[in-house]
Chain A
Amino acid sequence: MTTATERVPEAMPESDGAWRSLRAFLRNPSAVIASLFLVFVTLVAIAAPLIYPEDPLSMVTRPFLWPGQNPQFPLGSDTLGRDVAAGLVWGSRISLIIGIAAMALGVTIGIVVGAAAGYFGGRIDDALVRLVEIFQTTPSFLMLIVLVAIAEPRVESITVGIALVTWPTIARLVRAEFRSLREKDFVTAARGLGYGHLRIIFIEILPNALPPIIVTSSVIVASAILMESALAFMGLGDPNRISWGSMIGAGRETLRTAWYLTAVPGVAIVLTVLALNMIGDALNDALNPRLSSER
């Protein structure tokens, strides 16, 4: 095994991009731990209906059961006698769904706007950059609160709201990448072969711009989870779904007497966001050719 991994870079000093990046990623221990943790959280989220078939919002025992007091409720119960462990498991669903969906939507909008601005330049660029600036100069969390307050606080509207405040980051990044990539010889060559704008944008340029987009996406999932938690903490989350943020919000009043009610979901948020950020850093190291040691 060791000989194999040692010999590979020798045999292929410039081995194929994706595989080399994957190897670099897997060589980073914190990235592997973070990925395993996220896989675990994802599995828990998927299996939530199997682990706790009952509604996590229903009262199942006496209130203020401390963790470890009753083996049936390992993480105790909250002010209304709801099972904290069930809330944690079901809450991971909301966090992950909103985090990933908001990232996907935001990244899609960001790529379309950024690609159009960076590729075409000129007036299209001017107009789109102004639009991005309007979003970037407005405090994003305030805007998110306003958006969710106007719409009904539901998973869908929260997702759209978070996407609307995160896409400008991606748009700026994609625009910068496209501005430099559109001048490359292979783009001129593609135009010389009669390719249309869409074909050049999506087949020729976008794959070259993907590494920084992937890195930023993982960080955006983390910040989307944080934003959802903050909204839920303030009572602006979906009232029919339990989330880590709403658990913290509910436990806030008893912070001095039953601190575990805020600490348990808090730790879940911290670990998940930390894992996503660590993956983002590791991806950055693995995908960024300027930082890789093989150059």
Chain B
Amino acid sequence: MTAKLLDVSSLTIAFPRGTPVADFGFAIGEGETVAVVGESGSGKSLTALAIMRLLPRTARIASGSIGFRGRDLLALPEPDMRKVRGREIAMIFQEPMTSLNPVLTVGKQIAEVLRLHEGLSAEAARKRSIELLDLVRVADPHLRVDDFPHRLSGGMRQRVMIAMAVACRPKLLIADEPTTALDVTIQAQVLDLLDRLRRELGMALMLITHDLGIVGQWADRVVVLYAGRGAEEADAGPLLEDPLHPYTKGLLAASPRLDARLHYTAGALREIPGSIATAQREPGCPFVPRCAMALPSCRISPPPLEEIRPRRLLACPPTAAQEQANASAVGR
């Protein structure tokens, strides 16, 4: 396994009412793409904001540590953290339509990052902005550089956001649902772009998504998050072929697959009964209220994410026990 770049461990984010992220941990290696998958409200974006230390004021990090290149980001003073943001860790947001400043040209906005972190002169920053626009495949970069954001399409704006994010060659790029607001045809282009930049610039990519369809093609490793707790963590291929956690299974059953003949006559997509809101006051496994195979023991305390096989982590003791039995049966 590659060296750890980011190491989040037992992260708990508390609001005055409730803890949307509890005891969550995962790691990202150098140059790796890790997808964090979960439905709305599962705490994916909060985790990303916690890494950037940009949580809303009311939120508090109750416990845990966020290691990044040998430092604990949570212990860093704010001025040092500002130097990490944008230079070592950059983030792109879900909404390209509102994430750009409407009154500044895109060139000025990209140049501003370069002037802050790299100390470039106005002229050099502008030149580099044009190069960056070219890098993210914006057509006619020398013309677009003077455009205001409202003249660009959603996909273009997301490319500009990406250009700003990679301007200082960060080690880690956090992409929070980068394609959710875009047309399906643009989604693949943007993801391909992110993947190409990851390879060319040697970045690691934390891809936050609720779309499992994205995972198989672009992620090395997948972390499934349910109600602020890790449910399952595995390499992308094995996870999609053989999901273990009942929630992951449900998610996959609920996603349209392109390999199957996709037609409504092929049968309806299955849904997971219930909603994530039921996890709120659950003392045990948060998925219990929606789980078909819940045992009484599941309701006692939240199960930890444990390694059941090399590179395969699961937070479901009944399934883990079953896997154990299967494995020994095969071994015999």
Is B161 interfacial (CB 8 A cutoff)?
yes
Given contacts A194-B117, A199-B116, whether A186 and B101 have CB atoms under 8 Å apart is: yes
Considering the complex, give the chain A residue whose CB is closest to the CB of B98: A185
A10 vs B118: C-alpha distance when bound (angstroms): 41
Could you mark each residue 150-167 of chain B with 1 if its beta carbon is under 8 Å from any beta carbon of chain A, else 0?
110000000001001100
Instruction: Tell me the minimal C-beta distance from A16 to chain B in angstroms.
Output: 6
**Which residues of chain B are near A196, meaning CB under 8 Å?**
82
Is B136 interfacial (CB 8 A cutoff)?
no
**Which residues of chain A are near B26, meaning CB under 8 Å?**
none
A9 vs B54: C-alpha distance when bound (angstroms): 40
Q: Which of A138-146, A200-208, A265-273 is the contact stretch?
A: A200-208
A185 vs B85: C-alpha distance when bound (angstroms): 16
Instruction: Among B84, B90, B99, B102, find the residue whose CB has the most chain A CB atoms closer than 10 A.
Output: B99
A199 vs B101: C-alpha distance when bound (angstroms): 13
Q: Which parts of B27-68 form the interface with A (CB within 8 Å)?
A: 52, 54
B54 A208 Cβ-Cβ under 8 A: no
Is A126 interfacial (CB 8 A cutoff)?
no
Q: Which parts of B70-91 form the interface with A (CB within 8 Å)?
A: 82-87, 90-91
Is A28 interfacial (CB 8 A cutoff)?
no
Given contacts A14-B150, A194-B83, A194-B84, whether A189 and B116 have CB atoms under 8 Å apart is: no
Range, interface on chain B? 20 to 34
**Which residues of chain B are near A190, meaning CB under 8 Å?**
101
Given contacts A193-B164, A199-B116, whether A186 and B98 have CB atoms under 8 Å apart is: yes
Q: Which of the residues A184, A195, A207 comes within 8 Å of B104, measured between beta carbons?
A: A207
B150 A189 Cβ-Cβ under 8 A: no
Given contacts A192-B86, A194-B85, A196-B82, whether A186 and B102 have CB atoms under 8 Å apart is: yes
Considering the complex, give the chain A residue whose CB is closest to the CB of B78: A196
Q: Which of the residues A17, A188, A204 comes within 8 Å of B148, measured between beta carbons?
A: A17
B87 A192 Cβ-Cβ under 8 A: no
B148 A186 Cβ-Cβ under 8 A: no
B112 A203 Cβ-Cβ under 8 A: yes
Instruction: Tell me the minimal C-beta distance from B260 to chain A in angstroms.
Output: 37
Instruction: Tell me the minimal C-beta distance from B29 to chain A in angstroms.
Output: 23
Given contacts A14-B151, A195-B112, 18 further A-B contacts (CB under 8 A): A14-B150, A185-B98, A186-B98, A186-B100, A188-B93, A188-B99, A189-B93, A192-B93, A193-B85, A193-B113, A193-B116, A193-B165, A194-B84, A199-B112, A203-B112, A204-B101, A208-B101, A208-B103
What are 20 sample pairs from A and B whose C-beta atoms fall under 8 A apart? A16-B148, A16-B151, A185-B95, A188-B99, A189-B100, A192-B52, A192-B54, A193-B85, A193-B86, A193-B90, A193-B164, A194-B83, A195-B86, A195-B112, A199-B116, A203-B112, A204-B101, A207-B101, A207-B104, A208-B102
Show the binding face of A for B, using Cβ within 8 Å. 14, 16-17, 184-186, 188-196, 199, 203-204, 207-208
Which 5 interchain pairs have the tightest Cβ spacing? A194-B86, A194-B85, A193-B86, A185-B98, A192-B91
